[in-house]
Amino acid sequence: MKKAYAIKKIDCANCALKIEEEIKKVPGITHVHLDFAKEKLTVVGEPHLVTAKYLEKVAQSVENDVKILDVDQAFQHEEAKMSKNEWLMYGLGVLIALLAFLLTGFDVLWLQVIRVILYLASYGIFGYKVMIKAYKNILRGQIFDEHFLMMMATIGAIILGEYIEAIAVMFFYRIGEYLQDLSVSKSRKDIKALMDIKPTTAHRLTSEGMVDTLPEGLVVGDIIVVRPGEKVPVDGIVTEGSSWLDTSSVTGEAMPRDAYEGIEVVSGSINLSGLIRVQVMKEFQNSTVHKILDFIENNQMKKAKTEKFMTKFAKYYTPIVVGLAIILAFVVPVFLSVIQEVSYASLLAIYVKRALIFLVISCPCALVLSIPLSFFAGIGSSSRKGILFKSGSDLEALAGIEHFVFDKTGTLTEGKFQVAQIVSGEPELILEYAAHAEYHSNHPIAKSILDAYGKKPEDKHVLTIRELAGKGIRANYKGIHLLVGNERLLDEYHIKYMKTHEMGTIVYVAANQEFMGYIVIKDTVRSSAKKTIEHLLKRHKRVSMVSGDYESAAKDVSFQLGLDDYYANCVPEDKIRIVDAIKQEKRVAFIGDGINDAPVLATADLGIAMGGIGSDAAIEAADAVIMNDDPEKVLIAYQVARKTMRIVFQNIFFALGIKGVVLIFGALGYASMWLAIFADVGVSILAVMNAMRIFTTKKIR
């Protein structure tokens, strides 16, 4: 039995991992996946075990406040990250600590007793959650974690009479957690915004009037009405009316788009102004909004290599520092008492205090909190910009890409071909011949010729048509034998013709074995493609273009983009071979949109699908999806990935560097408890605030 639940009040990626591991231990449960980003828990197991109440009990053995609910209850359980009662309680904790501090100067015994009681009460208010977690972990045999270190260090500080310092550790740790909660909430908001784009109702026009139905119930050809303020339920084409559409939730673009008769609209867009009628072009399961939801629901949130390293690091780091603290507290005094001939008891008090300071310093909170948070923030920031990453590991992979390989048609170009030039003594006649020969073809080249002709061909005059794969078309129009295609077609029929080095796709036309001329067809380069290529080259990245189009067409586009490295006449196997060859030397990303790009998207170190109109197969194979098919989003995604990794490594070196220096000072007796507090919770707060900078990624110029 497989079932999904909503899991609430979990704001720590490390805690999520612990909960997942704990649920895996339950007899009868065979698989567990906790998606920290979407607050979703999926379990596979025996029906009598897989209940929300039972799973919540297991999860609360790790994280006391966790709530696990059936999905239909989840929407009624959205709570603030800190309730009003919690704010009041923490405010009371501060007041109690201040009152206790004011009693410090009095020598009256009963006032001093009250002072100690007040300090302990304040400590309990701020630290009870840490102590509960530490206690539960000890019962489960998981002693060496950050909660245990903080509890031992602060209890030791209290024993030594350093109440303010003990309270400060817990107080600042709670501030760090709160800042983390804010950052996680912001990321979740960005990710969930994409999941809220599904329309709930569609207004279908029937012979009996307008009928409300689910988007899943629509079929191709249905006419639906979209009122102002409503979401477009499925992909379609406007048949009546005009309006402005907000597509930001789908594409990440803030500028509304004009929608009028004949314009295609995508599901998930919001109608801002006028009432429009839309003809359904795709059923819901094939529409844009379903692709997005399916992509988000099926990602696995794989941990990045850096996260895995920090998980292993923390696992061995904590018991090592506890062992060093024990040696510092009890072994070093023995050694020094022999050398210096000083009493062991006098040295013990000094070194026990140093060991406690050492424990406070050594807490790995900054790393445990900030590293997963940085990747999570990066995914959330990208989602807001219309770029979906499957996992933190894909974000990490993009930051290390050295070679970008772009597919041409539909990625760097619009995929909209236009007749650019007709070279012939009789241009109108050659266009007429080509249009009638291409009349029944669905190829984009044929469509461009028909668009240029501007009239509907007279089908009754086309006597025969035969398509010759990879060459062109042979047709009989009004008794005239036509050949319309590439050089190979004319060579096969031994027709003498004028070869051209014109850039673009060349369509040669011959009538009754006589060469008449040729048509030059060009694809439109996307407006942001050149900017994207220029910026990547400035960053010293290799950039290549692959295309299944002819050499002349590929050369034309590469010339417009300022690219020297391109490959033409590529079938899917050629693209795989090219990417595999690059992988031997450099880490490579492939960016494509077509169904034939799916194999190479899966082959590359990182596959990026242009997903707004891309195929399902391409999206499934990719590691990231760009929702509005804008190649500049590749640059934005790379920028977010690089910034995320910079912040991750900043936090690692910042935390380990400061802790390493202060640990040495603490062991030698030069670090106070306040310095220890800064090295622990102070560094944690700074690391979390540094991670939150990911949301402020600057716009590319």
CATH number of domain containing 482: 3.40.1110.10
- Domain co-membership, 562 together with 634: yes
Task: Give me the average pLDDT of each 10-residue run along the chain (701 residues).
Answer: 77 71 83 73 72 82 78 47 74 90 82 90 89 79 71 79 83 75 65 63 89 90 92 91 79 68 86 91 79 57 62 72 87 87 83 82 71 79 82 88 91 84 91 90 83 87 82 90 90 88 85 93 87 93 88 86 88 87 94 77 89 62 82 92 91 84 86 78 80 71 52
Backbone angles phi, psi at 268, to 5 degrees: 95, -15
Q: Any idea how long the chain is?
A: 701
Residues of 65-85 as b/e, b for ≥16 C-beta within 10 angstroms?
ebbbbeeeebeeeeeeeeeee
pLDDT in tens, 105-133: 787 888 889 989 999 999 999 888 888 87
- Domain co-membership, 536 together with 613: yes
Number of domains in the chain: 6
- Of 104, 121, 136, which closes a domain? 136
pLDDT in tens, 507-561: 999 999 999 999 998 888 888 999 999 999 999 999 999 987 778 788 888 998 9
| Residue-level pLDDT at 79 | 46
| Strand (E) or helix (H) holding 594 | none
Strands 243-246, 270-271: pairing kind: antiparallel
For residue 371, give both structure tokens: 């590293």
| Residue-level pLDDT at 450 | 92
- Domain co-membership, 173 together with 320: yes
Which CATH number belongs to the domain containing residue 217 in this structure? 2.70.150.10
| Residue-level pLDDT at 325 | 86
Q: Is residue 270 part of a domain?
A: yes
For residue 321, give both structure tokens: 């520092």
- Domain co-membership, 367 together with 404: no
Q: Is residue 124 part of a domain?
A: yes
- Domain co-membership, 232 together with 324: no
- Domain co-membership, 529 together with 638: yes
- Domain co-membership, 310 together with 355: yes
Instruction: Round to whole Å and give the CA distance between 438 and 416.
Output: 17
- Domain co-membership, 573 together with 587: yes
Whether the Cβ atoms of residue 428 and residue 410 lie closer than 8 Å to each other: no
| Strand (E) or helix (H) holding 327 | none
| Residue-level pLDDT at 77 | 43
| Residue-level pLDDT at 311 | 62
- Domain co-membership, 36 together with 103: no
Instruction: Round to whole Å and give the CA distance between 291 and 617.
Output: 10
| Residue-level pLDDT at 78 | 44
Which CATH number belongs to the domain containing residue 57 in this structure? 3.30.70.100
| Number of other CB atoms surrounding residue 95 within 10 Å | 12
Q: Is residue 16 part of a domain?
A: yes
Whether the Cβ atoms of residue 345 and residue 311 lie closer than 8 Å to each other: no
For residue 563, give both structure tokens: 């690219």
- Of 483, 508, 524, which closes a domain? 524
- Domain co-membership, 529 together with 407: yes
Instruction: Round to whole Å and give the CA distance between 111 and 568.
Output: 87
Q: Is residue 244 part of a domain?
A: yes
- Domain co-membership, 184 together with 324: yes
| CA atoms 512, 514, 516, 518: torsion sign | positive
| Residue-level pLDDT at 76 | 42
Q: Is residue 195 part of a domain?
A: no
Active-site positions read 407
Q: Is residue 197 part of a domain?
A: no
Q: Is residue 701 part of a domain?
A: no
Instruction: Round to whole Å and give the CA distance between 322 and 307.
Output: 23
Q: Where are the alpha helices (DSSP H) in 327-426?
A: 332-340, 344-362, 365-384, 392-399
- Domain co-membership, 598 together with 622: yes
User: Among residues 666, 595, 634, which one has the least CA distance to residue 153?
Assistant: 666
SS3 content of the chain, % helix, strand, coil (to 5): 55, 20, 30
Residue with tokens 């880490």: 587
| Residue-level pLDDT at 388 | 83
- Of 481, 498, 524, which closes a domain? 524
Task: State the first-to-last Cα distance of the chain, in angstroms, to the nearest integer.
Answer: 52
Q: Is residue 99 part of a domain?
A: yes
For residue 431, give both structure tokens: 């266009």
| CA atoms 370, 372, 375, 378: torsion sign | negative
User: SS3 string of 146-202?
Assistant: HHHHHHHHHHHHHHCCCHHHHHHHHHHHHHHHHHHHHHHHHHHHHHHHHHCCCCCCE
| Residue-level pLDDT at 193 | 60
| Residue-level pLDDT at 587 | 94
**Structural domain of residue 146, as residue ranges?**
137-190+302-371+645-696
